[in-house]
């Protein structure tokens, strides 16, 4: 090899070293590959259901998130307001759920509220007045003909709503039809609204519903379980808090249902919570079951 050829090779090696050094110091790096199975981060609320029923649109999901529901966030507390009969306004991180809204003919007045979601346990006018919250998404527990149950499985951010198929009577629906119990899970709280439950629970029902932190239960009888049966259901579910509903009040004084006092007879842990909204956290739940009496708010 000639001397000139050897020098040329040295210069080529030196130039290559300079180029590599320049690449390193200027921050040029190959892009890191995404690992298989690694999740992508996307904006917007998680709004899904398993079979397409009761499904919220992407736009509705985004609007709901903007109103206070953030995916993966733990609920700071659940706000409860009793509106009479089987109707409650449940607020979770700014997201409002209206359960079983009644028609004006029920006797409590006309509901006109803001809510993001309405749940309807069955299609009777004292439970399915969806005009109570215009614009809210409606989740119905029964099929349009009321002869079957919808497969309720809905998630919005940190809130998960499911349904349990039950009956409105003790004769497998032959007298009053079907009913859906709704389960609301958020953070470390689990709330169950039994709608117009008309029978004791079987083993499968109990397994689906438990554990229960807050139980909304009908106690007035005639159309639903009565006081004695309601006590048995409470024993079956062992909730931390029992909130009775669907009993005779001044608004429903002409209804053939019993007053609340029949359910409260013999009970020790009864606390009158008045008509103001309550905020409940997991830490505030009692160790032994308590009955919280909520008075209907004035509309």
Q: What is the pLDDT of residues 180-225, one digit of tens each?
A: 999 999 988 999 999 999 999 999 999 999 999 999 999 999 999 9
- Alpha helices (H) in 49-153, listed in sequence order: 58-66
Per-residue confidence (pLDDT) for residue 71, from 0 to 100: 40
Per-residue confidence (pLDDT) for residue 52, from 0 to 100: 40
Contacts 24+ apart (CB under 8 A), 42-45: 45/69, 45/70, 45/71, 45/156, 45/157
Cis, bond preceding 213 (omega within 30 deg of 0): no
Please tell me which residue, 159 or 37, carries the higher pLDDT value.
159
Per-residue confidence (pLDDT) for residue 50, from 0 to 100: 35
How far CA 174 is from CA of 56, 164, 202, 275, in Å, comes to: 33, 18, 18, 36
**Percent of the chain scored above 90 by pLDDT?**
72
Contact 230, 217 (CB under 8 A): yes
**How many whole angstroms separate alpha carbon 201 and alpha carbon 221?**
16
- Sort 75 into a burial class: Cβ within 10 Å, 0-12 / 13-18 / 19+: buried
Please tell me which residue, 60 or 213, carries the higher pLDDT value.
213
Q: What is the pLDDT of residues 146-167, one digit of tens each?
A: 999 999 999 998 999 999 999 9
- Evaluate if residue 26 carries a pLDDT over 60: no
């Amino acid at each position: 090899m000639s001397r000139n050829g050897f020098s040329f090779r040295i210069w080529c090696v030196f130039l290559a070293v300079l180029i590599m050094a320049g690449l390193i110091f200027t921050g040029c790096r190959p892009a890191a590959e995404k690992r298989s199975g690694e999740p992508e981060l996307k904006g917007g609320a998680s709004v899904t259901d398993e079979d397409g029923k009761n499904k919220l649109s992407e736009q509705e999901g985004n609007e709901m998130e903007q109103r206070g529901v953030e995916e993966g966030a733990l609920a700071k507390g659940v706000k409860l307001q009793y509106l009479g009969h089987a109707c409650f306004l449940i607020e979770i991180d700014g997201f409002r759920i209206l359960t079983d809204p009644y028609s004006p003919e029920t006797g409590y007045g006309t509901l006109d509220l803001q809510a993001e979601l309405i749940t309807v346990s069955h299609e009777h006018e004292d439970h399915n007045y969806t005009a109570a919250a215009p614009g809210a998404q409606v989740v119905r527990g029964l099929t349009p003909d009321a002869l079957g149950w919808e497969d309720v499985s809905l998630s919005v951010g940190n809130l998960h709503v499911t349904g349990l198929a039950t009956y409105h009577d003790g004769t497998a629906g032959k007298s009053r039809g079907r009913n859906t119990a709704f389960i609301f899970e958020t953070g470390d709280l689990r709330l169950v609204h039994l709608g117009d439950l008309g029978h004791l629970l079987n083993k499968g029902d109990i397994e689906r519903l438990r554990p229960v932190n807050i139980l909304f239960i009908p106690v007035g009888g005639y159309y639903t379980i009565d006081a004695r049966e309601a006590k048995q259901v409470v024993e079956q579910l062992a909730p931390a808090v029992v909130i009775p509903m669907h009993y005779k009040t001044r608004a429903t004084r002409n209804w053939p249902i019993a007053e609340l006092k029949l359910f409260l007879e013999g009970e020790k842990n009864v606390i009158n919570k008045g008509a103001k909204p309550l905020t409940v956290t997991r830490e505030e739940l009692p160790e032994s079951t308590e009955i919280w009496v909520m008075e209907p708010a004035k509309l």
